[in-house]
Chains A and B, each alone.
Chain A
Amino acid sequence: MSRAAIADKIMPMPKGDKLIVLAAGLLLLGLGALPFLAPALIVDKMIMLFILIIFAVMWNLLAGYAGLISVGQQAFVGLGGYAMVRMVDAGLPPFPAIFVAALVTGALAFVLSLFVLRMKAGEFAIATWVIAEVIRAIVSFDPIVQGETGTSVVALNAYAPEMRRMTIYLLALVSMAGAVWGTWALLKGRTGAEAQAIRDDEDAAASVGISTFRVKQRIYILASVGCALAGTLWLASSITFQPRTGFGIQWSIFMLFMVLVGGIGTFIGPILGALLFFALQEIFGDFGAWYLAGLGLVAILFALYLPRGIVGLWLDRGYNEPLSMRRRLKLPRG
């Protein structure tokens, strides 16, 4: 207090990070122009990449920053898709339905949060998976879904394919940018700091005044909306909804792979993990079962040689984590 004259401050963003943000901004602008230039196949693939990035960022928010290890995010991928099917069936135009369905799924996540967030660690993980399976079973009973046969969002066929593809691409791009930026803003704020404290020690977090349940709930609902949005975008681009696919455990496995391989609990890691996963899918995706074995092999190699993920390439060499969430105190000299 004797040094009140010197205002203590948090260090500003490092120059390198500013460059990364600038480059990312320019890249986004470029990506905005891509569907006007690139062939349809590329545009479709890019939609998938954006969806993967949303998944990775959301699972990292949940598990990496809040310690909520869920293997049941497919519940929200499927519910988002199902809500969209229902809404479009009720007459809502498909493009707004992409977003409305994601928000409605968030309301359901609120209800689920009251139960699952009372559980800890392993129990929580199993509960999320069980819930996803139960919801899948319930949704399969809806006549509209036609059991495992599934259904299609036929209303999307009313649009010319080119126009449809371009719209979905731009919506996916905006959603991805929104998810990344929103996560950034959240983590930089109080909720982000509180989530990390809860991840590290929930009881100690409560002892410093953190409303642990409320913070976890906020993160859980946001991650659910994010996964639902990725799910509705995916449905919009693939048109067919099948409970087995929509609620499939593979979504959680993809999320886990991207986040762990990229670097859990780092901001940039999961995005890099999504890029790597996307590349692996492109290169080896046609090899069927071998592709899955390959993914497993990559995961094992990372666990053995680069346990901190791609971001470990920087960290292991003593460099600071790019786009780190760390708040560093600027200490007065002398």
Chain B
Amino acid sequence: MRAVVTADPILRARGVNKSYGALKVLHDVDIDVLPGEALGIVGPNGAGKTTLFGALAGSFPVTSGAISFNGIDLTGTRASDRCQLGIARTHQVPRPFLGMTVFENLLVAAQSGARLDAAAATGRAADVLRRTGLADAANRPAAALGLLDRKRLEVARALATGPKLILLDEIGGGLTESELIALVDLIQSLRSEGLTIVWIEHILHALMRVVTRLICMSEGRILAEGEPRDVMANAEVQRAYLGSSPE
């Protein structure tokens, strides 16, 4: 099932486990993300998708397992280090810096994540604002944004850190069809610039337009992995998604 590996993975996770007390959220997860690819992750709620992102981005220490990025072992590194190395993430529930303006949210991300000086960070922030359709809201307080703009801001702020790999967590939810098209266009253009993308999404038709490979997770494990069409046709995946009746 595994896609033919043609390059060294940019991100490699081996045997990643995460438990909260007796609750095991991730079971021996192995993932390879290839440079420049767009990898989709699907799975029912509670499958451990967001927890996997947290583990990759360093939001919390994993219980066991190894993660490396561009050949660098990430064990023991903090979220801020990983961001500076080039891993950016968005949050499923947007977490903007509410006491700051939209522009300031991006500015600090460009200054800290990409280590740009004030002038370069200003340019980066303004570019990202235009690309994500937030330019008009630049000087508005982040607290004044509605949910959709907050989701945009999540993506914009992650992009401002100048990532090599971006972890997108359900950024399509609640968008109208035309907004989804704009989002797909944005992600495709980012990919054409060489950005590696991992995207968790429930809105499959949007996801399928972007990703070249798909992983389905269920109950903290990887259930299936490969060509998007094949994965969605997989019987186990269908069962996990549609819910099997207990036998």
Contact = CB atoms under 8 A, between A and B. Distances in A.
Given A200-B98, A211-B80, A193 B135 contact: no
A196 B112 contact: no
A331 B83 contact: no
A265 B122 contact: no
B188 interface: no
A325 to B, nearest CB: 9
For chain B, which range describes its interface: under 10, 10 to 19, 20 to 34, or 35 or more residues? 35 or more
Interface in A183-228: 189-190, 193-194, 196-197, 199-201, 203-212
Contact of A190 (B79, B98, B111): B111
B112 A209 contact: yes
A200 B97 contact: yes
Contacts of B139: 326, 328-329, 331
Interface in A3-25: 3, 7-10
Interface residues of A, number: 31
B83 A208 contact: yes
Residue of A190, A197, A207, A211 most packed against chain B (CB within 10 A) = A207
Contact of B100 (A1, A190, A196): A196
A14 B127 CA distance: 24
A189 B118 CA distance: 8
B17 interface: no
A210 B80 contact: yes
Contact of B109 (A199, A200, A209, A331): A209
A207 B97 contact: no
A203 B95 contact: yes
B99 A328 contact: no
A327 interface: yes
Contacts of B138: 328-329, 331
A208 B112 contact: yes
B59 interface: yes
A194 B158 CA distance: 15
Contacts of B109: 208-209
A3 B101 contact: no
A207 B83 contact: yes
Contacts of A8: 122-123, 125-127
Contact of A194 (B112, B123, B127): B112
A129 B185 CA distance: 54
Contacts of A210: 80, 108, 112-113
B127 A327 contact: no
Contacts of A203: 59, 79, 95
Interface in B64-95: 78-80, 83-84, 88-89, 91, 95
A199 B98 CA distance: 9
Contacts of B129: 329
Nearest to B103: A329
Given A3-B130, A208-B161, A329-B138, A199 B99 contact: yes
Interface of A: 1, 3, 7-10, 189-190, 193-194, 196-197, 199-201, 203-212, 265, 326-329, 331
25 contacts: A8-B123, A9-B119, A190-B108, A190-B118, A193-B107, A197-B112, A200-B98, A200-B100, A203-B59, A206-B79, A207-B57, A207-B91, A208-B108, A208-B109, A208-B112, A208-B113, A209-B84, A210-B80, A210-B113, A211-B78, A327-B107, A328-B139, A329-B103, A329-B122, A329-B129
